[in-house]
Chain A
Amino acid sequence: QKEVEQDPGPLSVPEGAIVSLNCTYSNSAFQYFMWYRQYSRKGPELLMYTYSSGNKEDGRFTAQVDKSSKYISLFIRDSQPSDSATYLCALLGVALTFGKGTMLLVSP
């Protein structure tokens, strides 16, 4: 079993839709939970991070962590074409472990 599982997509939605991106993990030692966004041919950029179970909101983005289920989610409200990118979950234990990324396509 891989440490971090993430559906690679692609996930296609119309503009304005609510997007749900998810990861599951197996290692209880992970302490911090991050979401990175990567545009094509660019480096990943940090969107949000959290270290506790529950929700954390930042504008149109909400990160959710359920440590008991080892499940993390990123919700994007009112999705925009500019949100089209690959979203990677990342978990920090000794080092940063990334999921494979989900490609999101938001069509106008």
Chain B
Amino acid sequence: DTAVSQTPKYLVTQMGNDKSIKCEQNLGHDTMYWYKQDSKKFLKIMFSYNNKELIINETVPNRFSPKSPDKAHLNLHINSLELGDSAVYFCASSQAGRAANEQFFGPGTRLTVL
């Protein structure tokens, strides 16, 4: 199936731990994104990569580090997890430029920090 996939789907961990979320898209898109959706369902962009290059980095703590090994993958590593990091994290992809309005989202990773 052509899609944006994320692993894991659920992640429960203790404060202070380090965790990673993986994202892969097989749509042939140039641009990938990470979004955070908080408990109030507000969806906000965190990062955007175009052809493995960081193009958007919103005011996100530097404990969050995206890594793009190739243009089909964008992983999110989070150090020293805090309670406030609990949220659903969505990966998305699109073509670059004006086509960035057509973003395809993954199913989300529900992170719970205890």
Binding site for B on A (CB under 8 A): 8, 31-32, 34, 41-46, 49, 51, 86, 88, 90, 92, 94-98, 100-101
Contact = CB atoms under 8 A, between A and B. Distances in A.
B106 interface: yes
Contact of B108 (A43, A51, A86, A100): A43
Nearest to A46: B102
B101 A92 contact: yes
Q: Which of the four size classes fits the interface of chain B?
A: 20 to 34
Nearest to A91: B101
Contacts of A88: 43
Nearest to A42: B107
B105 A98 contact: no
A100 B44 CA distance: 9
Given A88-B43, A95-B48, A100-B40, A42 B108 contact: yes
Contacts of A49: 101-102
Greatest chain A CB density within 10 A among B43, B100, B102 is at B43
B101 A43 contact: no
Given A32-B98, A44-B90, A100-B40, A95 B45 contact: yes
Q: Which 3 A-B pairs have the closest CB atoms?
A: A43-B105, A32-B101, A98-B43
B43 A44 contact: yes
A94 B45 CA distance: 11
Contacts of B105: 43-45
